[in-house]
Amino acid sequence: MTVDYKQDGTGAAIKITQRIRQGGAVTLIKIAYRNIWRNKRRTFFCIAAVGIAVFFIVLYSSMIEGMLKNIIDIVQIYDLGHVKVVSSQYDAENEYMPVQYPVSDGKSWKELAASIKKIPGVRAVFPRISSLATLQESTTKHAVLWGLCIEDEMAANHFNLTDRSDGLLEGRWPEGGTNECAIGRVFAHKSGLSVGDRIPLKTVSAQFSDKIWSPVITGIFNFDYIKYDEQFIIVDIERLQRLLVLGEGTQSLVIFADNEKESGVIAAKVRSMLWQGNVVTEWRDNYWVAMMEMVMPIYMMIFLVFLIVASFLIINTVVMIVHERIKEIGMMGCLGMTRAEIVKVFFFESLFLAMFGAFAGVIVGGVIAGIGSVYPIRMGDMYGDTFSEMPLGNAIFLGISPFIIIRAWLLGVVVTSLFTLIPSLKSAFVEPVEALRR
């Protein structure tokens, strides 16, 4: 006897079941994809929920990445370089900026720098001196004299991180060995000083004697780092050495590497070649850099909370789908679909919603983060002096990268899909006969 599939309902059911079996997962995926567009309003809200969560993950990841990059840049450029050498006495009292403890190895700083430059991977070695000063005829009473090899330093680093420049706004930098200085824009504004004015000040030499000095302001700078713009006076290091009676000594040697990842190797080689009375510090040892790297897992937990909240909306939606389509589930069972196949259909529906939502989130978040990587956020205008101790510049560029985009998308898809497994499994335990009665 031949079965006519066009007239026999049972035969049609068998034929449909056979097609599903032959098509395998591909057929189930097609069914799931068609199902999500049967109720476009519900689909839109699910995609929006996941998209918003992933959008915030991209945005916050980019902001944290940008803040970490800004802190690292400031620590490296203004303080430690990639490796910094100071004497052990200075290291113990560094908060007072003592000048009586120069780097010592029986050589002048130039000889030490020449020896360090021979280490493979070292790009530059600069001496630096910081000394506290009291201003005598100014509304600003205290400042820091910062002695640099100005021409070499400005050629090697961008002190203004926003404009990628030396930061000079007006005038010129002090010339070598002269009684000249440059001050920050905030310092100039608060003190009412301008190019051509003198700054009478007093500092203490390495011999503990008071030194009175009145350098001429030749330039005003804007480093976009409030601490330096407000407190620091840049002078030529040779002139400051004479003023502080340091001879050819220097308070610190700052080493810059070709690749910051090699700083550990360079630091080890510097330690091996210098006297043990010196302390060699790597940029990764900075308190703020270490703290930011430690709190990164906490930020990841916050990102996961966003996803979990969005996932609950998906769970509720899938539960409603199961409830609203109870007869459809019964029909699937009557057609011969197994529980595993029914679970896969509903799971694939949830997976599609998660994928589309995560894709929308990374697109919108990526565009905004991309704009933020070109046009910085003026953090200093928002927090003012609140975090003056934190090495954070006024302008923060968002840090966007393919890794952030891919990670956010995967988190959105994986977390949301896992949270929808329970309602997907619920659909498999609806008895076909009971489902058809409802």
DSSP symbols for 163-214: TTB--EEEE-PPPTTSSEEEEEHHHHHHHT--TT-B--EEEE-TTS-EEEE-
CA distance 217 to 201: 13
Q: Where are the beta strands (DSSP E) in 185-309?
A: 201-204, 210-213, 216-221, 232-236, 252-257, 278-282
CA distance 358 to 364: 10
Domain segments of the chain as ranges: 9-71+290-437, 98-250
Q: How far apart are the first and last CA of the chain?
A: 36
Structure tokens at 57: 């993950």
Instruction: Please say whether the beta carbons of 164 and 158 come within 8 A.
Output: yes
Q: Where are the beta strands (DSSP E) in 304-402?
A: 377-378, 395-396
In the chain, DSSP finds a helix count (H) and a strand count (E) of: 17, 13
| Sign of the CA dihedral running 251, 252, 253, 254 | negative
pTM (whole model) above 0.85: no
Which residue from 321, 402, 412, 308 is spatially nearest to 360, judged by alpha carbons? 412
Residues whose CB is less than 8 angstroms from the CB of residue 406 and which lie 6 or more positions away in sequence, other chains included: none
Tell me what pLDDT residue 254 has: 96
CA distance 426 to 376: 49
Instruction: Please say whether the beta carbons of 177 and 238 come within 8 A.
Output: yes
From first to last of the 438 residues of the chain, give the pLDDT tens digit: 333 434 444 444 454 455 555 555 777 788 778 877 877 887 888 888 888 888 988 888 898 888 888 999 999 999 999 999 999 999 999 888 999 999 977 778 888 899 999 999 999 999 999 999 999 877 778 899 999 999 999 999 999 988 889 999 999 999 988 999 999 999 999 988 999 999 999 999 999 999 999 999 999 999 988 889 999 999 999 999 999 999 888 999 999 999 999 999 999 999 988 878 899 999 998 888 888 878 777 877 877 777 777 677 667 766 666 666 666 666 766 666 777 777 788 788 888 888 898 899 999 999 999 999 888 887 665 555 444 567 878 888 998 889 989 988 988 888 777 777 776 676 666 666 665 565
Tell me what pLDDT residue 424 has: 66
Burial of 28 (0-12, 13-18, 19+ CB in 10 A): buried
Q: Is 184 helix (H, G, I), strand (E, B) or coil?
A: strand
| Sign of the CA dihedral running 170, 186, 236, 266 | negative
Tell me what pLDDT residue 5 has: 37
Tell me what pLDDT residue 375 has: 87
Residues whose CB is less than 8 angstroms from the CB of residue 176 and which lie 6 or more positions away in sequence, other chains included: 150, 151, 236, 238, 239
CA distance 312 to 86: 55
Structure tokens at 21: 């079996």
Tell me what pLDDT residue 6 has: 43
> Strands 142-148 and 232-236: what pairing?
parallel
